[in-house]
């Protein structure tokens, strides 16, 4: 399996001192920063947009290699993911992870066979790659992994996602309870794709990491478990050693 990547979610940081919190989290051993963008439509909550990302980018060194330290992993919980790619690229996003469900926003109920040219995930991944960003695709708890088969097995690397995010809570808020019911999705993906970066997000911490790591996740998001800890560096190191063991 690919290497462990620990990506603290700054949703649980102090928004009044985001720059300092981001810098400190990196010093405490984070690999990436997970940046949750919520628009109040796709999810019932609002966070912040590209201008804030551009400001915090100045506090964290840019990655020197693809998937490297300091990667800004932008989790786009927004209804119109295509519309914001350029803006987030200019703000300093490195990995643009959109929701499969939103790529079909006009037809969220039955995406199969009804995608239109502008919003299908394949074209969106292509577009993200054409701008020089890594592309991720996220699945909410109700969405099965079979919707990704064609993308993951594409011969054309421009339309293959660089990462899949399996949500282990309903997106929208930090501090929710981990849903172990989502782990079979991780297992299935890991079995079929040994080298795929598989990210889990929601309710991860020292008490739940072993299940997620056993299922095959290697990119670990943790918000409240890191920012709420007395010793965040210790939590980051527990998460890392669980994935590596």
**In terms of C-beta density within 10 A (0-12 exposed, 13-18 middle, 19 or more buried), how is residue 113 classed?**
exposed
Helices (H), the chain: 18-27, 50-57, 85-91, 100-103, 121-130, 149-152, 183-192, 209-215, 224-227, 232-244
Residue 164 CB, shortest distance to ligand DX5, in Å, is: 14
Nearer to Zn ion, 75 or 140 (CB): 75
d(CA 75, CA 144): 19
Is residue 36 at the binding interface for Zn ion, with CB under 5 A as the rule? yes
Residue 121 CB, shortest distance to Zn ion, in Å, is: 18
**In terms of C-beta density within 10 A (0-12 exposed, 13-18 middle, 19 or more buried), how is residue 155 classed?**
exposed
Active site residue 36: yes
Per the annotation, does 174 bind a ligand? yes
| Contact criterion met (CB below 8 Å) for 67 and 197 | yes
Closest-approach residue to ligand DX5 (CB): 223
- Out of ligand DX5, Zn ion, none, what residue 53 binds, judged by CB under 5 to 8 A for its kind, is none
Per the annotation, does 12 bind a ligand? no
Is residue 240 at the binding interface for Zn ion, with CB under 5 A as the rule? no
Per the annotation, does 175 bind a ligand? yes
Nearer to ligand DX5, 36 or 159 (CB): 36
What is the contact surface with ligand DX5 in residues (CB under 6 A)? 9, 11-12, 34, 36, 75, 169, 171-176, 201-204, 221-225
d(CA 99, CA 97): 7
Collapsing DSSP to helix, strand or coil, 145 comes out as helix
Which one of 36, 39, 94, 162 is the catalytic residue? 36
Cβ neighbours of residue 211 under 8 Å, at least 6 residues apart?
A: 180, 183
Closest-approach residue to Zn ion (CB): 75
Report residue 239 as tokens: 């998460």
Nearer to ligand DX5, 154 or 224 (CB): 224
Per the annotation, does 39 bind a ligand? no
Active site residue 201: yes
Per the annotation, does 29 bind a ligand? no
Question: Which residues carry out catalysis?
Answer: 36, 201
Residues at the binding site are 9, 34, 36, 75, 172-175, 201, 203, 223-224
């Amino acid at each position: 399996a690919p290497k462990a990547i620990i990506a603290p979610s700054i949703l649980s940081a102090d928004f009044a001192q985001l720059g300092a919190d981001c810098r400190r989290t990196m010093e405490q051993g984070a690999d990436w920063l997970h940046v949750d963008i919520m628009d109040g439509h796709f999810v019932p909550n609002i966070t912040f947009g590209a201008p804030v990302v551009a400001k915090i980018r100045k506090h964290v060194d840019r990655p020197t290699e693809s998937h490297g330290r300091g990667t800004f992993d932008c989790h786009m919980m927004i209804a119109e993911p295509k519309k914001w790619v350029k803006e987030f690229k200019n703000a300093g996003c490195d990995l643009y992870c959109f929701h499969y469900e939103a790529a079909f926003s006009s037809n969220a109920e039955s995406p199969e066979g009804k995608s239109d040219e502008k919003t299908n995930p394949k074209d969106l991944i292509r577009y993200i790659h054409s701008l020089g960003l890594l592309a991720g695709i996220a699945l909410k708890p109700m969405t099965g992994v079979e919707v990704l088969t064609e993308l993951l097995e594409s011969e054309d690397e421009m339309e293959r996602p660089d990462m899949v995010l399996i949500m282990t809570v309903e997106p929208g808020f930090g501090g929710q309870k981990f849903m172990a019911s989502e782990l079979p999705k991780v297992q299935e993906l890991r079995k079929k794709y040994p080298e795929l970066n598989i990210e889990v997000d929601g309710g991860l911490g020292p008490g739940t990491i072993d299940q997620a790591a056993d299922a095959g996740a290697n990119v670990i998001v943790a918000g409240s478990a890191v920012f709420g800890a007395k010793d965040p560096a210790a939590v980051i190191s527990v998460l890392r050693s669980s994935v590596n063991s």
